[in-house]
Amino acid sequence: MKKTTTLLSGILLSAGLYAQSFQMSAIGTYNTGIFDDGAAEITAYDSTTQRLFFVNASNSSVQVLDISNPAIPLLQNTISLAPYGASANSVAFKNGILAAAVEDTNKQANGKVVFFDAAGLYLNDVAVGALPDMLLFTPDGNKVIVANEGEPNDDYTVDPEGSVSIIDISAGVSQATVSNVFFTSYNNVVDSLESGMPAGWLNAGGYFNTNSANSGNGKAGLNTTGDIIRTAKYPAVQELTFFAKISSAGANWQTAIEVSQDSISWIAIDTLVADGNNTGDVVDSVYRKFNYNVGSNLPHYVRFNMYNRSGGSLYFDDVEVRTISKDVRIFGPNATVAMDLEPEYITVDQNNAFAYVSCQENNAFVKVDLVTATAVEIMPLGFKDWSAAGNTLDASDKDGAINMRNYPVKGMYMPDAIDGHLIGNNFYIFTANEGDSRDYDGFSEESRVKDLLLDTIAFPNYAGLQDKDSLGRLKITTTLGDIDNDGDYDELYAYGARSFSIFSTSGALIYDSGDDFESYIAANHAANFNSNNDDNDSFDKRSDDKGAEPKAIIVEEIRGKQYAFIGLERMGGIMVYDVSNVNSPTFEQYFLNRDFSVVATDSAAGDLGPEGLLFIPASVSPNGLDLLVTSNGVSGNVSIYSLSFTTSLGENGKKGVELNVYPNPSNGNTINMNKVATGSIFNMIGKEVARFNNTNTIDISSLTEGMYIIKTQLCESKKLIVR
């Protein structure tokens, strides 16, 4: 089900009066000193060595941080990737092995996955597909799954096939084997039957100009047994989708769309009705879509069985059959399905059985069987209705104001990062709905609404909509919306959904956060609403183009609850939701570690352009706290946040923050607390050995090696180990 927002929850969200179950604090940052060049993108963590690995695309390396004291991350090592290709796009770590996805110096050529140990020593490398964009280990650690995006070159003259690589390391990294999953079995897509009948078809289309339903112009091969479209079998496809463009003039008729396995017994799956005035369900030159769920055994026969027809003429044309839904965007010039699909991000289910892969530009998921190494399903993600309640947006960067409104626009979800999580015995896919266009020298789908010819029936107020203060500035795709192919646009499709969503493994939308992000920022950060990530004086600059732009997402279980963390690439900051109830997630907080009062190039500006998120649970973190790590591609830094949970009621009758100290164990002269407090340190025989007053930093230089107890005036206590 989609999000429904009550009046009360909307008021609480806009006012910022949410109930936090924990507080986030920035405790440590490592700065590369490189601005807006991808110097800090994706991170991975080794709990044994307390090392953090992050991709630095600006110098083609993976850099290694010692975070044994997360308040002071220290650069320990730089692993050059120059011997293996260009830069890495992703890293992952498990069981003592670091895996890096490295693109070739020729971006359209096959890339590599390179394996290192925790110290950065080379172990092995294997070839994968073109432009490996993201990789991860399966939960059991036996495989590494790689999304190979396969982007075209800028001239769009070379477009490699997208793919998914399955690297089996169960026998050890040195014995790694690779299985590549391609999508060529989905290439058999008929865009139009004008150019001739494909193999397996007997007839298609028809032109009727008399009162007899079985007479035609011969082009379609119509016969007295009915107007039948006979299809071939397509293996391993769960759904067959039919499209037909039907034009009528002065005709009254009904048509049943029927399917059959044997051409003897027919099952009706839909019905069309039209009248002579074209005021029925079918009007001139409108495409209709008919889905038939068939499992793996597709029907051999489909027919449009016309009856109750009298008068006028009817033109039946452009009948299509597809192995994937038409809502999966296949639109690159001269591209097959296999060439056009661009795998971006991956999640793997808890049973190590299936991978779910986001194809951002295609607005789809691909489900991959990890045992058979096959793509078993391609699922469209559908479209968001920006005219519906709870789905408002600011569409203009030129009106000089915050102007949240409903518009007659559809949003393509187009997630970048995705993450899968098991909740209540069901596996769900969580998406950060960033949006992305194809904008190359050789091909671009981008336009602004003001530059389009709008259909005057679909948009009777087209002139007002195309004003710069309304929809005129909004970026949309030109590949969708002209549903009757007459040169004007009947619908408008914008990039991204400015939200996070939850999908089932069948691709069904369970929840979408609607306009939460933009509404909250408008209410609580109005002066910097929809800012860009490389300019601290950029109010409203992203309103025409995907808003705050949700980019990264992770979902984690913390203290028995399930939390989603969503990084906003343009505005910055982390949105946090309690998603324990997937049908009704609860907004927790928005943490923004950005200072708009300084220039963006100053390191004091904070975290700009969060690219990746990583959670380190307290059980394996260096300081015994739950930690969240952000890698920020614009500011070029890696930041570490602590998560401090509320505990028992304090002296004011309000919940306090649970006391934690770090580094712990400590071998330095000072330790830090996650809050300001007053109290004492006691040794193990109960003797007071140090005091602290109204501070969050304690001098322990006088303490010898051993175990101590820290106690505050609020009767909080924490064990401390000094080495």
Residue with tokens 């993600």: 381
The two tokens of residue 615 are: 């959670």
**Average pLDDT rounded to a whole number, residues 155-167:** 98
Structural domain tally of the chain? 2
- The whole-number pLDDT of residue 111 equals 98
Angle at 288 between CA 282 and CA 289, to 5 degrees: 150
**Cβ pair 496, 413 in contact under 8 A:** yes
**Cβ pair 567, 608 in contact under 8 A:** no
Per-residue pLDDT reduced to its tens digit, 242-298: 555 454 555 555 666 666 666 667 777 766 665 555 444 343 334 445 555 554 454
Q: How many CB atoms lie within 10 A of CB 462?
A: 18
Q: How many CB atoms lie within 10 A of CB 547?
A: 26
β-strand pairing of 177-181 with 418-423: unpaired
Which range among 12-21, 43-52, 345-354, 399-408 shows the weakest confidence by mean pLDDT?
12-21
Rounded to whole angstroms, the Cα distance separating 369 from 310 reads 51
**Cβ pair 114, 104 in contact under 8 A:** no
**pLDDT for 418 beyond 80:** yes
Hey, which residues does 110 pair with through a beta bridge?
A: 130
Domain that holds residue 707: 659-722
Of 322, 337, 354, the position where a domain reaches its end is 322
Per-residue pLDDT reduced to its tens digit, 323-337: 677 789 999 999 999
Q: Which pLDDT band holds residue 318 (cuts at 50, 70, 90)?
A: very low
Rounded to whole angstroms, the Cα distance separating 92 from 594 reads 27
**Which carries the bigger pLDDT value, residue 343 or residue 237?**
343
Cα radius of gyration (the chain):
29
**Cβ pair 637, 603 in contact under 8 A:** yes
Rounded to whole angstroms, the Cα distance separating 101 from 126 reads 10
**pLDDT for 193 beyond 60:** no
Q: Which pLDDT band holds residue 221 (cuts at 50, 70, 90)?
A: very low
Rounded to whole angstroms, the Cα distance separating 579 from 565 reads 10
Q: Is 639 among the domain residues?
A: no
- The whole-number pLDDT of residue 682 equals 86
**Cβ pair 103, 85 in contact under 8 A:** yes
Handedness of CA 341, 450, 455, 194 (dihedral sign): negative
Q: Is 372 among the domain residues?
A: no
- The whole-number pLDDT of residue 281 equals 39
Rounded to whole angstroms, the Cα distance separating 382 from 328 reads 8
**Average pLDDT rounded to a whole number, residues 450-459:** 96
Q: Is 300 among the domain residues?
A: yes
Q: Which pLDDT band holds residue 664 (cuts at 50, 70, 90)?
A: confident
Rounded to whole angstroms, the Cα distance separating 710 from 680 reads 6
Q: Is 453 among the domain residues?
A: no
Q: Is 173 among the domain residues?
A: no
Q: Which pLDDT band holds residue 463 (cuts at 50, 70, 90)?
A: very high
Of 322, 354, 377, the position where a domain reaches its end is 322
- Describe the strand order of the beta sheet including 122-130 as a list of residue ranges: 88-94, 97-102, 110-117, 122-130
Per-residue pLDDT reduced to its tens digit, 60-94: 999 999 999 999 999 999 999 999 999 999 999 99
**pLDDT for 319 beyond 80:** no
In this prediction the pTM is 0.80
Cis check: omega of the bond before 198, within 30 degrees of 0: no
Q: Is 286 among the domain residues?
A: yes
CATH number at residue 276: 2.60.120
Q: Is 202 among the domain residues?
A: yes
Q: Is 565 among the domain residues?
A: no
**pLDDT for 116 beyond 80:** yes
CATH number at residue 705: 2.60.40
Rounded to whole angstroms, the Cα distance separating 474 from 701 reads 60
Percent of the chain with pLDDT over 90: 67
Rounded to whole angstroms, the Cα distance separating 683 from 157 reads 72
**pLDDT for 216 beyond 50:** no
**pLDDT for 651 beyond 60:** no
- The whole-number pLDDT of residue 53 equals 98
**Average pLDDT rounded to a whole number, residues 146-174:** 98
Per-residue pLDDT reduced to its tens digit, 549-602: 999 999 999 999 999 999 999 999 999 999 999 999 999 999 999 999 999 999
Of 275, 304, 322, the position where a domain reaches its end is 322
